[in-house]
């Protein structure tokens, strides 16, 4: 089942009269506040993202440069919020089933909050979802289902969508918010200064009950173990923390990964290993007839995963599906065969979108590079089985039996490992030993919870937190 299409409408047209300066441009985590809110909506998977600007639009709009957002200019912003609501709703395509309306001045609203808001709506099929603090105070952002879009567009003045709360009591659902500070807005400079104390990277180490860890660029680079490898597994064993090693690399089988770790002195088994080849084969099993002919591009990982699901591997004379994983022996002939099959109607599935792959001597083309060649040659966009899509992580969570909010994702790529974790509501830790480098972080719309130079630094921080907890009085 596909996820519902939920949009974001960011309300950023106000004149900030109480604050005395454009709140949209206040610095937050190294970027303007309006960019931070847009990034948060994007990381949460909301789409499309509509930003309504008004006062100081000439200054505010450039702060959104390079982001996949639709910026609308509200020339009547002084007439009240209703004009911005009308503009935002009118811009939403018919495919959108609901929209989250976000004020631009709530910097503590994060990805997990937005994902929870959407999940609450899905579970209750409510027309309106309103966050409520412990004392019963209503707050924003608020989610409205499509059936209310027409009425939102007809509001007038500065009352906003709250007028509909009283009109439709049976359509409302109130979502409890444990931390009421999340709903705090920046009304005054004093409020802004108070909220600044909450910004920055943090992680609740004591709450972690499981780990999903990438391998290439985290545990090793090529055939070389990376610092912290042995201490990491020792920590997991000592704390009895379940783990899954989840990789987008589809070139190897789980058994081969187990053997590679054994060669580095780490004992594990295939129950702790998942790759995007397995995710691709799992997905295909829900789409194809049993034993369907499949043309694979990739190494043993892809082939073994498809065989284990009962598919018939072909040499390209005929196939119902083409499945593409990273192939170190890729040739023009393989690309040509795949192109002809896809152009003749075969389904197109890619194990992962990783554009590059980390080796000892640097970055080399990854599966995303060869998939890009096929997209160019066929004009067909494939189904992506690996990260940042949810399937791989969902299977890992099911294996461990741990809730997403208690599972730490460790990875070296912002656009796959970290983004995938954020979109499932998991805490995330980026290590800089693989793909992503420190100088990329300030400009990225993807914000991990914590960043470490490598796995060794992460283990040191985790052990330090455990020691502090042990030493603190009961």
pLDDT digits (tens, 9 = 90+) for 13-33: 988 777 878 899 999 988 999
Domain with CATH 3.40.50.1000 in the chain: 205-248+388-471, 276-384
Task: State which fold the 6-196 domain adopts.
Answer: Spore Coat Polysaccharide Biosynthesis Protein SpsA; Chain A (3.90.550)
Q: Is 105 a catalytic residue?
A: no
Q: Which of 185, 216, 415, 449 is catalytic?
A: 216
CA atoms within 13 A on the CB side of 334: 18
At the top level of CATH, the class of 205-248+388-471 is alpha beta
Give the predicted TM-score (pTM) of the model: 0.81
pLDDT at 155: 87
Q: Which of 105, 110, 214, 327 is catalytic?
A: 214
Instruction: Give helix then strand counts, H and E, for the chain.
Output: 16, 24
CA atoms within 13 A on the CB side of 460: 10
Superfamily of domain 276-384 in the CATH hierarchy: HAD superfamily/HAD-like (3.40.50.1000)
pLDDT at 474: 46
Q: Return d(Cα 27, Cα 33) in angstroms, integer.
A: 6
pLDDT band at 131 (very low <50, low <70, confident <90, very high): very high
pLDDT at 2: 53
Instruction: Please name the residue ranges forming H helices in 172-320.
Output: 189-196, 229-239, 254-263, 276-287, 300-308
Domain with CATH 3.90.550.10 in the chain: 6-196
| Pairing of the two strands 98-103 and 70-73 | unpaired
Q: What is the pLDDT of residues 250-272, one digit of tens each?
A: 888 999 999 999 999 999 999 99
Q: Is 439 a catalytic residue?
A: no
Please say if the pLDDT value at position 227 is more than 60: yes
pLDDT at 135: 74
Average of per-residue pLDDT across 227-234:
97
Q: What is the pLDDT of residues 282-337, one digit of tens each?
A: 899 999 999 999 999 998 999 999 999 999 999 988 999 999 999 999 999 999 99
Max mean pLDDT among 9-23, 182-196, 228-242 falls in 228-242
Q: What is the pLDDT of residues 84-107, one digit of tens each?
A: 999 999 999 999 999 999 999 999
């Amino acid at each position: 089942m596909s996820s519902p299409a939920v949009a974001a409408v960011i309300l950023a047209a106000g004149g900030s009269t109480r604050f005395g300066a454009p709140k949209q441009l206040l610095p937050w985590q190294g970027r303007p506040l309006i960019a931070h809110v847009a990034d948060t909506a994007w990381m949460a998977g909301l789409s499309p993202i509509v930003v309504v600007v008004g006062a100081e639009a000439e200054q505010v709009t450039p702060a959104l440069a390079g982001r996949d957002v639709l910026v609308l200019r509200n020339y009547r912003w002084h007439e009240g919020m209703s004009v911005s609501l009308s503009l935002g709703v009118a811009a939403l395509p018919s495919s959108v089933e609901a929209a989250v309306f976000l004020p631009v001045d709530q910097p503590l609203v994060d990805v997990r909050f937005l994902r929870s808001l959407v999940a609450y709506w899905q579970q209750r099929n409510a027309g309106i979802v309103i966050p409520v603090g412990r004392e019963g105070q209503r707050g924003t952002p608020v989610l409205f289902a499509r059936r209310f879009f027409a009425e939102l567009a007809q509001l007038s003045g500065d009352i906003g969508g709250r007028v509909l709360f009283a009109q439709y009591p049976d359509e409302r659902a109130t979502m409890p918010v444990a931390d009421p500070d999340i709903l705090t807005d920046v009304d005054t400079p004093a409020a802004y200064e108070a909220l600044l104390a909450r910004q920055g990277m943090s992680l609740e180490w004591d709450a972690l009950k499981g780990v999903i860890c990438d391998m290439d660029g985290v545990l090793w680079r090529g055939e070389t173990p990376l610092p912290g490898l042995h201490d990491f597994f020792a920590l997991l064993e000592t704390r009895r923390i379940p783990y899954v090693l989840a990789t987008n690399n589809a070139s190897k089988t789980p058994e081969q990964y187990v053997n590679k770790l054994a060669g580095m002195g780490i004992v594990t088994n295939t129950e702790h290993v998942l790759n995007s080849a397995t995710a691709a084969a799992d997905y295909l099993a829900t789409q194809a007839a049993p034993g369907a002919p499949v043309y694979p591009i990739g190494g043993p990982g892809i082939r073994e995963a498809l065989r284990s699901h009962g598919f018939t591997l072909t040499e390209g004379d005929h196939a119902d599906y083409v499945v593409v994983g990273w192939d170190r022996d890729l040739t023009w002939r393989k690309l040509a065969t795949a192109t002809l099959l896809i152009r003749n109607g075969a389904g197109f599935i890619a194990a992962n979108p990783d554009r590059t792959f980390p080796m000892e001597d640097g970055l080399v083309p990854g599966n995303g590079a060869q998939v890009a060649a096929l997209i160019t040659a066929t004009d067909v966009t494939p189904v992506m089985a690996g990260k940042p899509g949810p399937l791989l992580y969902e299977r890992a969570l099911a294996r461990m039996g741990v809730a997403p909010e208690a599972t730490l994702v460790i990875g070296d790529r912002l656009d796959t490992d970290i983004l995938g974790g954020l979109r499932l509501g998991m805490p995330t830790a980026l290590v800089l030993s693989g793909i992503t480098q420190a100088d990329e972080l300030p400009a990225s719309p993807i914000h991990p919870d914590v960043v470490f130079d490598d796995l060794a630094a992460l283990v040191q921080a985790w052990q330090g937190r455990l020691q502090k907890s042990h030493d603190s009085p009961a």
